[in-house]
Amino acid sequence: MKTFRSKSGPFREQPFFEPGEIDRICLQELLKLKLLPDAPSPVRIDRFLERRFKVSPEYGDLNEGVLGYTKFGKDGVQAIVIARSLDEEGTETAERRIRTTMAHEAGHGLLHSQLFALGEPTPNLFDGESGVNCQILCRDVVGHQQVGRKYDGRWWEYHANQAIGGLLMPRKLINEALKPFLVSTGNLGGVTIDPARHEAAVRTLAETFQVNPIVARIRIQDLYPAEKGGQMTL
């Protein structure tokens, strides 16, 4: 991971990650903590937070639209708070959103802790909603991609969203889970997801890794990006 002086946003420095680097970071952390499943199955993201950052996720009454936040100190993550409303909803969809939010906050912890060690960011990181300059408030964790909005320069949110896939759906396990849906393409040994079974692949990943379909769909798009004509290739 490299850094350069940021031209926008609240931090002095902006990390730069090579393609696939965030995936590799997440995989290394899962392996180090012995939390990578042997076969496609849900990652214990709550246990990951406890082992990696020495914090247990808390639930709090957060402003509408805020799903969670990470509180930082100069030594790293101090707390991870999830919206109590998600916990109280009690639905499978909400439970899966909790998992996604935890992974998003873990992404901030893995990728951005060093930025707080360099000095406090400016308050505009927090949309003016917090008087404490050590929190990253997170809205609509995958909402930017879900409703087609742009990140508006909030690269730290893009990084954390990339970590959702790396932590909850590691590439190695995704490729194994998608084997029944892959077909050969071209003459160079490439593979693609069978377009006729794309939605079945999404449903399978959602059930296998306990995420909502939008998260599975985004992960497929990241690893098997669509080409012209709707083909999905690796």
Q: To the nearest whole percent, how much of the chain has pLDDT over 90?
A: 58
Is this structure's pTM higher than 0.75?
yes
In the predicted structure, residue 10 carries a pLDDT above the cut 60: yes
Q: CA triplet 195, 150, 15: central angle to 5 degrees?
A: 100
Quick: pLDDT tens for 151-204: 666 788 899 999 999 999 999 999 999 999 998 877 666 788 999 999 999 999
Residue listed under structure tokens 């903590």 = 33
Q: State the alpha helices, DSSP H only, in 84-129.
A: 84-89, 92-117
Residue type, 153: G
* Calpha distance 231→53 (Å, rounded): 40
The helix or strand, by DSSP H or E, that contains position 189, with its residue range, turns out to be: none
Beta strand segments in the chain, E: 2-5, 13-16, 58-60, 66-73, 76-83, 135-139, 182-185, 190-193, 232-233
Quick: pLDDT tens for 22-55: 999 999 999 999 999 999 999 999 999 999 999 9
In the predicted structure, residue 1 carries a pLDDT above the cut 90: no
Strand, coil or helix: what is 50? helix
As a whole number, mean pLDDT of residues 1-27 equals 79
* Calpha distance 95→92 (Å, rounded): 5
